[in-house]
Structures are given as structure tokens and as C-alpha cells.
Amino acid sequence: MDVDVPRRERLLTSSRPMSDLDVVSASGPWLYLADGRRIFDGSSGLVCVNVGHGSAKVRNRVKAQSARFSFGGPAVVRPRAQLEVAERLCRAVRRPQDSVALVTCGTLGVEVAIGLARNITRVRDRKRRGDILTSTLSYHGNSALTLALAGNHARRPREADAFGLGPAFPAPYTPTHDHSGGTCDASCAAEVAKAIDARGTENVAAVLIEPVNGTTGGAYVPPPGYLKRVSEICRERDVLVIHDEVLTGLWRTGTPLASHHWEGTEPDLVILSKGLGAGYTSVAAVLVAPELAPLLRHADADPLPAMGTMAANPLQAAACLGVLDELESLDLKAFTARGERLGAALRELPGAGPVKEVRGLGHLYGVEVHPGRLWPLMKQAQMPGPHNRDGAFFYPFTGTGHPRSEGLVVAPPLTSTDDDIDFLIAALRDAVTALS
Ligand SMILES: Cc1ncc(COP(=O)(O)O)c(C=O)c1O
């Protein structure tokens, strides 16, 4: 059925242009189009299809569960599959003793993490308020609360609708902090201390931070020492650290958690989402450190935050188990080498053309372009190149943070092969060359 213009308008999506990729099927990293061409999914959808499209492991798990029963959260049916997800997920991210809340999307994961952090600090530290501090370069979801809290400028509500909330400290990136000389002493972390002290430590429940930035600024990586110092500053003040690893969790940056790239950065709570559902199910997991979880059941504690009708549902859990099956069968050595090769090749993209800077790690990169070059480059990448008839899709980041920047998110499925990565590099290089 043809989708004509008025019908397109019927669907209220984001302000991003609606895609014209008419996909009839998908397998691994490839999207197959109605006109017979195929397009490489160079951003894993919205940086979520981490185990590729059409996974038989996921399909079989979901099929088996739906043949048994499809609804039944932990308040209704003994949550066998959900407990298995919790167990295997915690092991996968090297936090084997954590407690886990399973909810239906990244935004709700952040909301629930905020609720849990407030409960914990109220009981443990008798905090007066439950303020949550975020950075000027951050995105934490699309609810009224998370939009108001975070620093994604384009998505911020009008000031009058923001409940008086907003980002509290500058991000540790240029131009607010210039580390270009490579001599950062992590003094940018002192900004976090200043922000907490300005509110009064008795009023701050947690600092909420993306350890590696996702799509707001395009894979900004903090300077070494930054996250460790932020953790120390928070501990000195009885403030919890929440890592938003909705996008980066489960190997996207090359390690189970992005924070594993640095010592001494273990958060009190961590939120995972995209890599756990991998586009097959909508899910987020909030992990709570074992020394804190018992406080949530303390006699004086507030009730746990409400998590929703579809929280921890069995089909969701079945899909997650299939995704974990896939992740557990990754050849980590080859996977790591592929990520490093991808990063090295991207950093060698022609400098005289649209590309301004490349940053990132593992299987997550931001290719920042000069102003005005983003949409032409995205379009060019989808066209056949001199070396192939297939194109590549990349999700854009569009200058919505501070610092402002725009470019392509390069984030292929983690299950991509050597040949897949070669194709991706060649397709992007050809597109950049064509516009140089
Ligand atoms: C870092 C981060 N936090 C939270 C979210 C919100 O997740 P969701 O879109 O699943 O609600 C996103 C989504 O892109 C994200 O990248």
C-alpha cells in the first residue's frame, strides 16, 4: 500500500523527517528494500538493534514463551523468566549481587532509578529533598520530568513548563571544558561538587550522568579521571551516583558497561535498556548495588515507585533472554578488534570534506560534520557508491546539546562481521569523498 503525503501526516512522530526506506525484511545488519536494494544499518536502528535483525535465538525464545502464556508480571505469575534475566544480566555487567527492576523503556528506567534513589537517600541520609543533578550535555528520556531535568536543548520544555528544573553542571567537554591539550586534571569534576554544594547536600539525592554521551552530542567520551572524581565527590556528600547506560550498556562501547573503561567509577544505580531489548522488546533494567537494595525494604522506607502494567512481562523477559544468548556467544576478542579497527578507520576519514571530528569507542562513534553538511552526508551514504550498489543508514545527532554539534552516529550491530565492518567503512568513506 502506498503511503501518500496526507496519510504520512496522520502519524505523529518526532520532528525528524519521516524515512523513505521502504523495508520489506531485515537480517543481521542489513535492511532489504522493496526496490531490491539493501541498506546497511550503520546505527543499529536507534542504537538499539545490537544483535542485528532477525535473530533466531530471540525469535525462538519469544515463540516458546508466547505458546506458554503471554501476560503475567511478578504480581500475577511467578516470574521465572524475569528472574533469569536479572541473574544473567547482573553477571554480564559484572554486578552479580545487584537487585533489578525491569520496566518498559529507557525513560521509565530513569524515572524508576530516580524514585529508588530518593527512597534510599531519604531512609539512609534523611535527605530533605530528592534533587537529581544532571549535566548540560545529556538526554535521559522523553517524560515531562526527564526532559525538564536534562540538558538536551532542542527537547527541553518551555521554561514555564519545566517545573523549575534544568541541568545543574557543565559537561566535561569543549567548549565548557577544553581538554584539547590532553592535559585534563579532571578539575571539571569540581563543577559537580559546586552544583551539589550550591543546592545543599541535604537536598541532593543523586547525580545522574551518561558515562559516555550517546546521541545528544555524538559519543563524547569524558576525560580520564572525570567519572572517578565525580563518584568520590558524591560519596563525600552522601549523594548517589546513577549511570544512565540506556544506550551504552551491554558492550556498545566495547565493555559490558561504559564505566568499565575507567577504574573506581562503579555507580550506585545503573540503567540499561537499548542493548538489552535490542529492538525486539521495549525494556529497561535498573540495577541497584547490594549494599543499598535492602534500604528499599526498610520499615521507614517509602513504597517502591510504581513500574507500570507491562513492567517485567514474560514476553519481554523471553526476548531479553534471547538477546543475552546472542551476547554470550560473541567472540569477544574478534569483537574488540573490530571495534578498534572501525574507530581507527573513522579517524582517518578525509579531513578536507564535511567531517570535522570523530570521537567514541568500541562500536559507538560520533562523526561530527561542519554545519550544514549533515543531511547531504546522510543522503549520500544511502546511495550506491563507486565500490558497491548498497548504501548505509546512519542516525543523525543534530546539535541538541551544549556543546552544540551535529553529525552521524556510527554504531553498527555488535554482531557485525569483519566484512560488514569493511563495507561500512568503505560506504562512509565513499560518501565523505563524494562531498569533499
Ligand atoms: C542516554 C539515554 N537515556 C534515556 C533514553 C530514553 O530511552 P527510551 O527512548 O527507551 O525511553 C535514551 C534514548 O535514546 C538515551 O539515549
pLDDT for residue 363: 98
Who wins on pLDDT, 180 or 386?
386
pLDDT cut 70: percent of the chain above it = 95
Q: Is the pLDDT of residue 1 over 60?
A: no
Q: Is 428 in the pocket of ligand 1 (CB under 6 A)?
A: no
Look up the CATH number of domain 5-55+332-371+381-415. 3.90.1150.10
Nearest residue CA, atom 5 of ligand 1?
141
Task: State the distance from the centre of ligand 1 to the C-alpha of 245, rounded, in angstroms.
Answer: 9
| pLDDT-wise least confident of 50-54, 309-313, 363-367, 397-401 | 397-401
pLDDT for residue 179: 66
pLDDT for residue 405: 84
Give the start-to-end residue ranges of the domains of the chain: 5-55+332-371+381-415, 57-328
CATH fold for the domain made of 57-328:
Aspartate Aminotransferase; domain 2 (3.40.640)
Q: Is the pLDDT of residue 15 over 90?
A: no
Identify the DSSP state of 398.
E
Q: Cβ-count burial of 175 within 10 angstroms (0-12 exposed, 13-18 middle, 19+ buried)? A: exposed
| pLDDT-wise least confident of 54-63, 305-314, 390-399 | 390-399
pLDDT for residue 294: 98
pLDDT for residue 19: 87
Q: Is the pLDDT of residue 2 over 60?
A: no
Q: Ligand 1: which of 50, 107, 253, 271 to mutate, judged by most atoms within 8 Å of the beta carbon? A: 107
Nearest residue CA, atom 7 of ligand 1?
106
Nearest residue CA, atom 6 of ligand 1?
141
List residues bridging with 129 in a β-sheet: none
pLDDT for residue 386: 83
Cα of first residue to Cα of last residue in the chain, in angstroms, is 39
37: helix, strand or coil? coil
- C-alpha triplet 18, 23, 28: angle, nearest 5°: 115
Chain-wide mean pLDDT for the chain?
93
Who wins on pLDDT, 8 or 420?
420
**The three cell numbers locating residue 200:** 545543599
Distance from C-alpha of 190 to C-alpha of 356, rounded to nearest angstrom: 29
Q: Which amino acid is at 114?
A: I
Q: Is 110 in the pocket of ligand 1 (CB under 6 A)?
A: yes
> Beta strand pairing status for 406-410 and 395-398?
antiparallel
Overall residue count recorded for the chain in this entry? 436
